[in-house]
Amino acid sequence: MAEVTREQNDGRPSSATSERLDDTESRSISISQDSANSRIAIVGMACRFPGAPDLATFWEKLVTGTKCVVECPPGVREGRVGDLYDNTSTIPSACRYGAFLTDIDQFDAEFFRISPSEAEFLDPQQRMMLETSWRALENANIDPEQLRGSSASVYAGMSNNDYRYLILGGADTSQPAASLYTITGTSLNTAIGRVSFALGFEGPAMTVDTACSSSLVAMHQATTALQLGETDIALAGGVQLILSGKLTELRANAGMLSPDGTCKTFDESANGYVRGEGCGIIVLKRLEDAQRDGDHIWAEVAATAINQDGTSDGLTVPRGSAQKAVIVAALDQAEIQPLEVDYLEAHGTGTPVGDPIEINAAAEIYGAGRSANQPLLIGSVKTNIGHLEPAAGVAGVIKAAMAIRFGHIPKHLNFENPSSEIAWDSLPVKVVSEAMP
């Protein structure tokens, strides 16, 4: 999945909200009016990420270079890790780390007209989708009631089914109401439809599960629907909560996770990623509609593109040629030259196999004809908040949109010794190891 994002600046002042951060100076970037009709505007955003319950706090964590991963010491039952395992002395070391949310049991069910008995069986991921979608519309200065009965749509990545297994393993689901609430409250295919149900949206509602790319594929589906006229406003994003330790153990035993709980993307000591939790939602409109309505525009999506690796060296091993192809497709659709791209928010999971493939593919496309004085800047939010899996992509989009809007690229963490698997001397790329304007 590839996307090209730019700031749109129409000279209008931005409306202030609690999460607007308008005290930060924005940077103006010109756009091509010839292709404006095919472009999409991000008019609202909301998030709940590790250590950051809102946009303002998330930006603060990024600009201060904060690592939001926590550790549970061996043999101690504390925090979220203590809730996941009966004996933390026997689990793999990688399982003691995580980028977790707090207060995930808190939910205003009455606000969304959900009864207490139904809320008991409602996956906290569904609860977060409701709350974060509402806050994203607030950030966009859009009254959700004005969208009731409209073609507004929702697309979001979601793949974790931990809560269903907890309910089936412990709660009494024998009563008819409990059975129904278990089905609707723990199903991935109803999670996104619940947002449309609560807000009265009558456009498409789609749960997307394409592993790590889920929220970006959801964003691609949303932008495509807007361009085809299937909807006039779309919510896109992803959500993840870790409510069972089993899948983390499987990942650790498979060598996917960092034993020391540090995502060291592009570093010689990269040894895997850290699992994280979160929810991010962006509000999308056609650019001309956003300009007509006087919306605050965080950033402009010039194009998105999507493909698949096909046959590679392994089912979970990325293929560089496929990554290059999807980048070229996005650039061609956006009518943007590779040299016009200054910064790449990378997938960057911190794995010794995947990182070199990604950076080499990106450098081959974006680096063509680029001088050493104008390197492609690159970073990954996973060094701050871990890998949110189905919600990982939208976290990167929100970071990139704020970086463009505020003219400040946050520091990429945990980069000390460049990976020897990457030909740094011949690639015009630079990891943003220090914050840059």
Q: Which of 212, 220, 263, 296 is catalytic?
A: 212
Rounded Cα distance, 300 and 321, in Å: 27
Task: Please say if 296 is a catalytic residue.
Answer: no
E strand or H helix that includes residue 362: helix 354-366
Cα separation of 302 and 299, whole Å?
A: 9
Query: Token pair of 37, please?
Result: 């009709």
Coil, strand, or helix at residue 210?
Answer: strand
Choice among 95, 220, 279, 387 that is catalytic: 387
Q: State whether the Cα torsion 123-124-129-130 is positive or negative.
A: positive
**Element spanning 392, H or E:** helix 392-406
Q: Phi/psi at 19 (nearest 5 deg)?
A: -120, 20
DSSP H or E run through 394 = helix 392-406
Give yes or no: 220 in active site: no
Marked catalytic residue, from 68, 220, 296, 347: 347
Angle at 399 between CA 396 and CA 401, to 5 degrees: 105
Q: How far apart are CA 20 and CA 296, in angstroms?
A: 9
Contact (Cβ atoms closer than 8 angstroms) between residue 419 and residue 386: no
Angle between helix 188-199 and 124-139 (nearest 10):
40
State how far the Cα of 112 lies from the Cα of 185, in Å rounded to an integer: 14
Verify whether residue 412 is a known catalytic residue: no
Q: Per the structure block, which two tokens stand in for 112?
A: 């969304």
Residue 210: beta bridge partners?
Answer: 212
What strands lie across the sheet with 40-48, from one edge to the other?
Answer: 2-6, 299-305, 40-48, 278-286, 234-240, 153-157, 205-208
Q: Which residues are catalytic?
A: 212, 347, 387
